Structure 1
Amino acid sequence: MIMEDFEKKMSLTDPMELETQHQNNNKSSQTLILLRRFLLIQQRRAQAYAKLKRSFDEYMVSGGELAYQQLCSEITLEFNDCSKQVLEMEFLFLSPDYGRVDLAQLLRAVQTQEKQKLHLTATIQVLKKAGRPSERLLSHENCRFTKPVEHECVHVHEITEAAGTEEAEADAEYDNALKEAIRGVQDAVIAINEHLEEVKYEIDALEAE
């Protein structure tokens, strides 16, 4: 009797309905694969940032300009490759095969924040390399050397009130620029993490189907 009921239900199922169900299941599994790939790309980005920070910290201590510049070039290529792959995913989600405009927009939002984060990270490193105006080392190229260990420094000048104010303003401007860039990176990281939570919720929902 149970078998007869089952066969009856199967015979009543529209073949087109079965095909649609199969397509939906296939679409869900493909979407799941893409979203998991996206999370792996985000891990690659995180690792690249960690390498960049390590290299910059070493550069600030040892001054190895060449090694630092070489790593910056490698990291730039890594970020470009990540962006290219995410862009391809966006196009797939926008295509009729997937029809997930919401996910395409989610990935686009992450891309925008990642671009901002990278730009501001570079700004922070440039500022830190330059140092505060009042603490920058002087170049003695134009100074007159009178003895092997003594020279007449052209940089020595009477510290006037105006010069002191100018230096203080330059320092304040530098400090504000650095704080703004650091705050911008923090804001971008918060926004990226929020978007990644949305991606994880979507993965959980698809896995539950």
Structure 2
Amino acid sequence: MSDFWDFIQYLLNPRWIFFYFGNTALFILLAIVFAETACFIGFFLPGDSLLFTAGIFGENLCKNFYNVPFFIIILIVAFFAILGNIQGYWLGYKSGELLYRKKDSFFFKKKHLIIAKLFYNKYKATALIMSRFLPLFRTFSPIIAGAIRMNFRKFMIYNVIGAISWTFSIMLAGHYLDKNFPKLKNHLEWIVLLIVFTTTFPVFFKLIKSNKKKSNKKKSNKKKLLI
């Protein structure tokens, strides 16, 4: 059992993935990108940091995959991101209502689903694009889109835009920053933490603020009724 948790811990370390798996690192990357949105347990996977690290090790990925241009690597990753969202959509479409009645477990917390739904209600269909850059929301947004029976054609438009903008922006950022600042690899952990913080904090802050406004409105309405 300890070996399993050790493997999970290593799996959350992007640097380890690229050093340990070597020639097969791209396939691990594709599997993680797909799983992150294909099922509700994918929220803990390191999507952003993994893409950024993939950009840094882009040349190695190209060499280990028939020497294709880095542009093709990004397109392949985007394709698997799109597939993951489609799977997440159908998961929500088939069992969305059941998920709200599902008991909490280590891999599933109902509160994550509710937070993502609040985010989706606030930003509507564009949440599918925005959520690509936000851990947790990235996993649950396609599930919620399926649960509310969002038009599949409309879903696919936002799905493709979100996947392409996410993969290209983060992987190219890692790729070109490494070219200009080769010592970037030595401080990868801090950069990853900065990425997670800057993308997650503003959204959580807005959601908490909007929830406080709603609760204050309810309190004021109750006072008016009492008066």
TM over 0.5: no
Bigger proportion of residues as helix: 2
User: Who wins on radius of gyration, i.e. which is larger?
Assistant: 1
Provide the TM-score with structure 1 as the length reference: 0.31
Q: TM-score, normalised by structure 2?
A: 0.29
